[in-house]
Amino acid sequence: MPKTTQFHAYHAGHAKMTDFAGYEMPLWYSSTLDEHMAVRNSSGVFDVSHMGRFVVSGEPAGAFIEGLVPTQVQKQAVGKAFYTLLLDERAGILDDLIVLRLDEAKFMLVVNAANAAADLSHIQARSPPQGVRVDDTTGSSAMVAVQGPSAQSIMQPYTELDLGQLKRLRCAETKVMGQRSIISRTGYTGEDGFEVIVLDATNESPGRAMEFWEKITAASKPCGLGARDSLRLEAGLPLYGSDMDGTTNPFQADLGWVVSSAKTGYVGCDALWELKSSGPEVIRRGVVSDRGIPRHGFVVKAGSEQIGTVTSGTFSPILSKGIALCRLRNEGTEPGATVTIAMRDSEQGGKTVRPPFYDESIYGWKRHGKGN
């Protein structure tokens, strides 16, 4: 039996459902295309309650997490939300995650649903020191992403927090419809928006979480995993399990920016230093195809030579073209390089690009010079 979220009754009545990472989740409500465009042009809301949510707390919590990730943790201000990675000793990526620094000694780790159990084991295997608690709050909270240029005005009525004061990559503990919640200005669509964790909300006793979901889906457009995938791809955001996995290191995943050169002593550090000096032979790159839709596993060539594969691909509603994230040979595939994609029964031309795939002066959170 797949697991369900707090909003399952709503989804079952409104959406085409799919199994994802052990959960039964909405794939689309009306149309993936409409949901995608709603998020780019106005707003959309996603149930992301399936994502893993671990609270790491206690006085040495910061120092403990410092030993787990390649990003500086204790230097992050309270109220900061940051993207980072969990690595193994060989610097293979175990997961990508968002860390919310809620307080000096309290952090929320938001991880991929498919990896949540393995992540928790990995964290516990690092033997949290005396005074550190690791609590899995996945089942006792709900999580909703409100995304798009209108997200702030859509979300504001449900919280006492002044969202205008919450800058991008910031988070705060607050209330949503009177219920304890955490709001961060983060997301997986490339757009401005919020991720809202409603606490004290189990499936059996969700408190006001369901009422919040019903109200916000009436004010905005409910979106399924189909649009979530096309939006993140169009924004050039990698998906764990497709664009990276345990065999990929951060440099190959084009996520070298999360690796701080100012720290040592975390899992994978020694391996990373060695990798850093040599540079990656393969790297994640964006590709736009002239015709056809690149899909996972398609071979990418330069002339007749294979130079990589498509790790995830879709149709971009903004470009009306096929787009892909690919794992390509680093050398010779810099943005602007011409490639060929071997599709099912034809070969199509394409060009490497630096994502996002859309024009950032028109779409995405940076539009209108809103660099907050």
- Name the residue type at position 18: T
Q: Which is nearer to other proteins, 106 or 296 (CB)?
A: 296
| Spacing of C-alpha 100 from chain mean position | 14
Q: Which is nearer to other proteins, 91 or 293 (CB)?
A: 293
CA pair distance 123, 154, nearest whole angstrom? 36
Instruction: Please report how the helices 32-41 and 225-234 are oriented relative to each other, as an axis angle in degrees rounded to 10.
Output: 50
Nearest approach in angstroms of CB 290 to other proteins is: 13
Q: Which is nearer to other proteins, 298 or 365 (CB)?
A: 298
Write out the residues near other proteins by the rule CB under 8 A.
Answer: 16, 27-28, 31-34, 36, 226, 229-230, 292-293, 295, 314-315, 317, 322, 344-346
Nearest approach in angstroms of CB 66 to other proteins is: 39
Nearest approach in angstroms of CB 292 to other proteins is: 7
Nearest approach in angstroms of CB 226 to other proteins is: 5
Q: Terminus-to-terminus CA distance in the chain, angstroms?
A: 43
Nearest approach in angstroms of CB 316 to other proteins is: 9
Asked if 3 contacts 210 with a C-beta cutoff of 8 angstroms, the reply is no
> Tokens representing 357?
């795939």
Of 229, 288, 317, 286, nearest in space to 40 by CA: 317
- Name the residue type at position 316: S
Nearest approach in angstroms of CB 24 to other proteins is: 13
Q: Which is nearer to other proteins, 180 or 295 (CB)?
A: 295
- Name the residue type at position 244: M
Beta bridge partners of 55: 108, 135
CA pair distance 231, 40, nearest whole angstrom? 8
Q: Which is nearer to other proteins, 239 or 258 (CB)?
A: 239
Of 158, 140, 54, 47, nearest in space to 98 by CA: 54
Q: Which is nearer to other proteins, 268 or 294 (CB)?
A: 294
